[in-house]
Structure 1
């Protein structure tokens, strides 16, 4: 058994590292202009993970950067109410990042607009944060590929903290989130992510993200086939390639979610590869979903929950998959489903 499964993570907490964002959600018909009302959600990929873990009674911390003002105080109070430790938040700068997403649409849809340039997080610089202090008592560190996509500064700071966390023997996980509307500072993911991934024990994403970010090629015929058996085999090939080339990595997870444009006919399953074995989840289907945002974050949280508690790999992939699937029916960035409810979805 590899040390990702055998290591006792429960002696410390999970630190989730990333930018806190406010999601503004106009309706597709523009009624928000007439009503003078624009719904706001507190989000960000890593905060979504932190929220799920705290809900599931895993000691959960959150690092981000915020300006020091009254609105930030309100936001931090909101996060604290979810039993997330926010003591590591770094205060500087002038603004919180925003994004606009038309109600019912996906983050990959044209309805997505980012407004996060010059945010407090984007303007962090190396040497600014005392990482030894931030990482005290942490046994698991999580980030996503969204962090280094924001700016060169953000990528440099991400590398800085990964080096410190790795030197301390902290388990590190990454979600290979790809956002086409980021990566606008002259670098492509393949220029940045391989260096960061070398510090990671657990890498999660999908076969196409691994190709774009880590250079792991995907057979074009597999993509065109649409066949589950071929997707699962390609997930194994991708995972083996990643573990071969990123020597610290001990587990790779790949998700497969297929949804019609109008959020109908959903098919969801995932593959976890660890200990030289493939663990395939059950397949979940639905005629219609409510909100795609944050389902991948919930899956990541499920993986961390399972490994943190030393669960069996099949249990880990089944629970993580059910967690992500149940998130599709929650109208918010983060899940509100407890472990008991998720366990029922497995059955």
Structure 2
């Protein structure tokens, strides 16, 4: 099995303590996180070889971030150093009927100022079996979008599997282009497409009939999303698998969680988890993606088991503070086997 390469921005995360609001905060807890970095940490934690590609400035905060990634055995051999700053995001964790809030401070970050030709993708993807990106990266700047497209085309040319998490973030598309203008050319080169209940609609106008995510009351019928999968495959015929994560939000602390996977004309559905005491849901989709890549590479020709691993891994992520999913393969497989008791392991 070759290495897995991911590409995107890693940020300094500054979170209020507990459930404090921004206006109450006298201090913030500092960690690091970002979609593609989160996926790389999950995969490295499962024992797979990873390389996370980004651009970071030459300063002590960026050095600390690189040390943090190395601690989790993520490969950082191909990072670019340059630019003026790391991106930052501030997190206020919601509770019950009050939603969580994220405030970004990432304009003109080092990765946003990347330009095509700066990254030697052919060298980086040598001996790789998988390349992963998310819709967050091309939202940062035209340069980041162009660099991402370079990577995808190179991976296609070298026979490397390409996956994407559509990850639509309306607050990031600020440089004069919309997701609908930029994303199709990138997604065309993808073998595996992941999205949630809203991504396909917000980016491509694709949605299941008669469904409004804001009015689910926590109840989502997985079968309704088969049409989303088939429409995405019709639009992007290279795709071999389309996966939709299904989150039913009862309130900020109580969600239902599951997913569907569509491949070769068949819809696979996961079991649904009832997550009643969420510790931290940020990075939930990334933990799903990390679990999915691991599952597809490990449980060869068993799409159901790959989906089940992804959903269980992400369910466990909701119990872990921070962006990174610090759970083991054994813990995920234990939950897959039906043990969700949470009893002390002695």
CA distance in 2, matches of 1:193, 1:231: 27
CA distance in 2, matches of 1:289, 1:325: 10
**Conserved 8 A contact 1:126-1:160:** yes
- The residue aligned with 2:138 is 148
In structure 2, the residue corresponding to 1:220 is in which secondary structure?
A: coil
Tell me the C-alpha RMSD between the 2 structures: 2.2
Query: Runs of 4 or more off by more than 6 Å in structure 1?
Result: 227-230
Change (3 A) 1:221 1:262: closer
**Conserved 8 A contact 1:207-1:234:** no
CA distance in 1, matches of 2:72, 2:310: 20
| Aligned counterpart in structure 2 of residue 84 of structure 1, from 62, 74, 80 | 74
**Conserved 8 A contact 2:44-2:72:** yes
| Aligned counterpart in structure 2 of residue 75 of structure 1, from 54, 58, 65 | 65
In structure 2, the residue corresponding to 1:193 is in which secondary structure?
A: helix
Change (3 A) 1:225 1:330: closer
| Aligned counterpart in structure 1 of residue 124 of structure 2, from 134, 145, 149 | 134
Displacement after TM superposition at 1:31 (Å): 5.1
- The residue aligned with 1:308 is 297
| Aligned counterpart in structure 1 of residue 194 of structure 2, from 204, 214, 226 | 204
| Aligned counterpart in structure 2 of residue 17 of structure 1, from 4, 7, 10 | 7
Displacement after TM superposition at 1:139 (Å): 1.1
Segments of structure 1 that go 5 or more residues without pairing to the other structure are: 1-9
- The residue aligned with 1:7 is none
- The residue aligned with 2:163 is 173
| Aligned counterpart in structure 1 of residue 29 of structure 2, from 39, 42, 67 | 39
**Cα-to-partner distance string for 1:213-242 (whole Å, 9 max, x where unaligned):** 133243234658749997423311111111
CA distance in 1, matches of 2:250, 2:224: 23
Query: Matches of residues 205-220 of structure 1 in structure 2 within 5 Å?
Result: 205-220=195-210
Segments of structure 2 that go 5 or more residues without pairing to the other structure are: 339-346
**Cα-to-partner distance string for 1:282-336 (whole Å, 9 max, x where unaligned):** 1100322111101110000111001122251110111100011110010111111
- The residue aligned with 1:3 is none
- The residue aligned with 1:53 is 43
Task: Verify: 1:164 aligned to 2:138, yes or no.
Answer: no
- The residue aligned with 1:270 is 259
**Cα-to-partner distance string for 1:94-128 (whole Å, 9 max, x where unaligned):** 1111010113479x957211011111100001112
Change (3 A) 1:170 1:222: same
- The residue aligned with 2:341 is none
**Conserved 8 A contact 2:219-2:248:** no
Task: Verify: 1:337 aligned to 2:337, yes or no.
Answer: no
CA distance in 2, matches of 1:291, 1:236: 29
Change (3 A) 1:218 1:187: farther
Aligned positions, number: 332
**Cα-to-partner distance string for 1:122-174 (whole Å, 9 max, x where unaligned):** 00011122111221221100000000111122112111211111111110000
Task: Verify: 1:195 aligned to 2:203, yes or no.
Answer: no
CA distance in 1, matches of 2:286, 2:13: 15
Displacement after TM superposition at 1:255 (Å): 0.8
| Aligned counterpart in structure 1 of residue 283 of structure 2, from 288, 294, 300 | 294
The two structures have a TM-score, normalised by structure 1, of: 0.90
